[in-house]
């Protein structure tokens, strides 16, 4: 069934049982689907995300993770509001682009792609600009794999009584985070990331009291977060428009497998071990990591090209022939490539990857 392992940040390698869960058809009007699957997912997502689930709610939204980021920014931020975006990679910058499309009052605070977001700079900006109402940041910036200091960022944002929006696309389900403890108001992720489902929808976990205030704010019909949530609440899991039923059912299976593994802490431990095996092996072969260890997430790891003659396409093709698919780099400052550590992949898979790379080097 598997032509190769996807060592990417999503879509990623899924279990055979997640794939099998997509083999049945579901009626979007039937209670077996809406109540038995969608509502269960919504409830369990909130429980997974925070220690005070009664304060939060979950909305599922068709499309990619970026659809959900756009739905959130476009449905939560009013014309009179002011948004501060802290950006140290492509996905932080994308929030700024969305803000431009929606003509939001927005300032993008730019950091180097290899630099973690600096909480002190956020604090200085908030002190100088009391008009800011919302702050958004990416938790794990997939551009490089850098893990931004979300605890300190959240502390500062809450100290200034701002609404905090977190893009946790590549971290939720694989890196421990408690929305309630940190004061995160909206957190966004996708089915095909650390929970190890397949692409087709994303989700927003929101502070209920704030989402209730968002009626009529959205500039888009399809991406109206409030309307989607209200329909799911009143319809007990009903989506406004056709939902990706097979993908949703697969996600429920993936959620079950996360629980069976031991939850987020256990999955984080496996991803961290995947990363450790990968980095030690790659360094033994002469490759250097882009980021310092203290800024590196266990989600995806960037490596410099080993020399000026290195041909990534040739390297990629040879690795694919040996059963491994990796990712090109995405930064402008250096020639890099990336290897994902998430999905249904394990330390032995990375030991085999290192052996395959060693064989390629000897050719």
Full DSSP string of 18-60? HHHGGGS---TT-HHHIIIIIHHHHHHHHHHH-S-GGGEEEEE
Please check whether residue 282 is in contact with residue 354, taking contact to mean a CB–CB distance below 8 angstroms: yes
Residue stretches of the annotated binding site: 338
Residue stretches of the annotated binding site for substrate: 338
* CA 296 from centre of chain: 15
Please check whether residue 177 is in contact with residue 139, taking contact to mean a CB–CB distance below 8 angstroms: yes
The beta-carbon contacts of 63-68 under 8 Å, at least 24 apart in sequence, are 63/200, 63/201, 63/202, 64/190, 64/199, 64/202, 65/167, 65/169, 65/188, 65/189, 65/190, 65/193, 65/202, 66/94, 67/202, 67/223, 68/188, 68/189, 68/190, 68/202, 68/203, 68/204
Structure tokens at 2: 């598997």
Distances (CA, A) of 230 to 119, 173, 236: 35, 25, 10
First to last CA, the chain: 29
CA–CA gap between residue 318 and residue 248 (Å, rounded): 35
How are the residues of the chain apportioned to helix, strand and coil, as percentages rounded to the nearest 5?
A: 45, 15, 40
What is the maximum span of the chain, computed from C-alpha positions, in angstroms? 62
Query: In 3-state terms, what secondary structure has residue 122?
Result: helix
**Rg of the chain in Å (alpha carbons):** 20
CA–CA gap between residue 354 and residue 111 (Å, rounded): 33
CA–CA gap between residue 50 and residue 39 (Å, rounded): 17
Task: Say if strands 163-167 and 146-147 run parallel, antiparallel, or are unpaired.
Answer: unpaired
């Amino acid at each position: 069934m598997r032509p190769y392992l996807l060592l990417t940040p999503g879509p990623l390698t899924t279990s055979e049982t997640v794939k099998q869960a997509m083999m049945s058809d579901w009626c979007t009007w039937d209670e077996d689907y809406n109540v038995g699957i969608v509502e269960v997912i919504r409830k369990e997502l909130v429980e997974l995300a925070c220690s005070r689930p009664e304060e939060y709610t979950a909305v599922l939204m068709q499309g990619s993770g970026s659809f959900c980021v756009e739905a959130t920014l476009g449905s939560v931020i009013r014309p009179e509001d002011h948004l501060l975006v802290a950006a140290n990679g492509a996905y932080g910058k994308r929030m700024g682009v969305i803000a431009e499309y929606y003509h939001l009052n927005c300032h993008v605070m730019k950091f180097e792609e290899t630099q973690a977001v600096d909480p002190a700079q956020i604090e200085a900006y908030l002190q100088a600009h009391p008009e800011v109402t919302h702050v958004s940041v990416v938790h794990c910036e997939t551009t490089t794999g850098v893990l931004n200091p979300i605890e300190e960022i959240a502390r500062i944002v809450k100290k200034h009584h701002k609404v905090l929006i977190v893009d946790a696309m590549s971290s939720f389900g694989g890196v421990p985070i408690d929305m309630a403890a940190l004061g995160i108001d909206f957190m966004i992720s996708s089915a095909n990331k650390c929970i190890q489902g397949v692409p087709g929808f994303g989700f927003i976990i929101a502070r209920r009291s704030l989402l209730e205030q968002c009626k009529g704010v959205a500039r888009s019909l399809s991406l109206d977060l409030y309307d989607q949530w209200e329909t799911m609440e009143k319809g007990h899991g009903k989506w406004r428009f056709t939902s990706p039923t097979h993908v949703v059912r697969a996600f429920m299976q993936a959620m079950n497998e996360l629980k069976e593994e031991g939850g987020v802490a256990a999955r984080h431990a496996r991803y961290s071990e995947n990363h450790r095996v990968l980095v030690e092996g790659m360094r033994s072969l002469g490759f250097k990591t882009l980021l310092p260890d203290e800024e590196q997430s266990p989600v995806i790891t960037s490596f410099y090209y080993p020399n000026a003659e290195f041909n990534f396409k040739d390297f990629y093709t040879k690795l694919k022939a040996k059963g491994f698919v990796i990712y090109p780099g995405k930064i402008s400052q250096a020639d890099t490539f990336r290897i994902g550590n998430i999905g249904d992949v394990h330390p032995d898979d990375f030991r085999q990857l290192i052996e395959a790379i060693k064989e390629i080097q000897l050719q």
